[in-house]
Chain A
């Protein structure tokens, strides 16, 4: 038990320092000491996936994702402090996202698991256990921003929704700003399309809004050789 705690501490430190080699080694040691340790199971499979070849990435990713729900349940049921549990769940969410990006960039189409459903279930479990705190709401809104497809107008309105609830939380507000910036840039590039015409005048309005939060922001000019504005 003493060894397990020592290795777990070292593994967490290595993970926080982005030292994947040491983190993998220490999590493996934790697994040897305590084969049922949920944290070690997840992070070991994560580092195994990141170290592995492209050919087997899809199957490793699927295996890792399938075990996540159990891992989260075990973490929430453990006797660790609430702060520790929260940090661990958020770390798992962050690493799931890193793994997803790695798969999309290096082995697209190789994974079959539905990551969206898994993430939704993690959010639900976290909110049920700890309520809607800013950390999880940031993850929830980031998920909604990245995965739910919207028209240009809906994207502006989604940003408004974030602003109405979390204007005083810079971390979450950054999501709305990012979304608005992307929309304004999109509208200035595709201004002759039906979607952009439906949002006429919104680019200027939202550019002003962005400037309130980010005074250094400069609205992009309309694309094209002769754009008349």
Chain B
């Protein structure tokens, strides 16, 4: 069952309907026993990617300043360079950060999620599928509105 969580209460939940109860039982059973993937992404991998981003952004700005001999608005070059690189690296860094969470988070914490697929799996899928802004918006809706408060929810990206 899909619930439109952006418009609250648009769809009333009929607790007594067999269809709802059966779907909830099925999802609950699956969620309580689902396998939790533990990717090999550690803290050092995430730090490495952040350092790569900082270095690339710095080198890009420095190259532009050197090539065009900019002397007055160097700070603007750095700013633009960091923003452009952020757009380029953000998806990878976000995915690595989520994988790092999946690697370290306690099982108890990860089993709090009541959605299928879990919020971290959903976030990775969304980041791979959409551009960064749309992905972040979808992740926000998922975390704050969909996951929790409406029972067990099946919500594919």
Contacts and interface: CB of A to CB of B under 8 A. Distances in A.
25 contacts: A151-B15, A189-B151, A189-B152, A190-B13, A191-B148, A191-B149, A192-B5, A192-B148, A193-B9, A193-B12, A193-B150, A194-B12, A196-B149, A221-B112, A222-B149, A223-B112, A223-B148, A223-B151, A224-B114, A225-B112, A225-B119, A225-B147, A225-B148, A226-B144, A227-B148
A227 B148 CA distance: 7
Given A223-B112, A224-B112, A192 B149 contact: yes
B148 A193 contact: no
Q: Is the contact region of chain B dominated by helix, strand, or loop, or is it mixed?
A: loop
Contact of B148 (A151, A152, A194, A226): A226
Contacts of B137: none
Nearest to B109: A225
B55 interface: no
Interface string B1-33: 000010011001101100000000000000000
Contacts of A196: 149
A151 B12 CA distance: 13
B119 to A, nearest CB: 5
B68 to A, nearest CB: 46
B143 to A, nearest CB: 5
A195 interface: yes
Interface in A158-190: 189-190
A225 B119 CA distance: 8
Nearest to A191: B149
A149 interface: yes
Nearest to B119: A225
Interface of A: 149, 151-152, 189-196, 221-227
Contact of A224 (B8, B9, B12, B149): B149
A193 B149 contact: yes
A224 B13 contact: no
A152 B15 CA distance: 10
A47 B152 CA distance: 39
A224 B142 CA distance: 10
Interface string B114-130: 10000100000000000
Contacts of A191: 148-149
Given A190-B149, A224-B149, 5 more contacts: A192-B148, A193-B9, A193-B151, A225-B112, A227-B149
Given A149-B16, A189-B114, A195-B15, A222 B148 contact: yes
B146 to A, nearest CB: 9
A211 B14 CA distance: 30
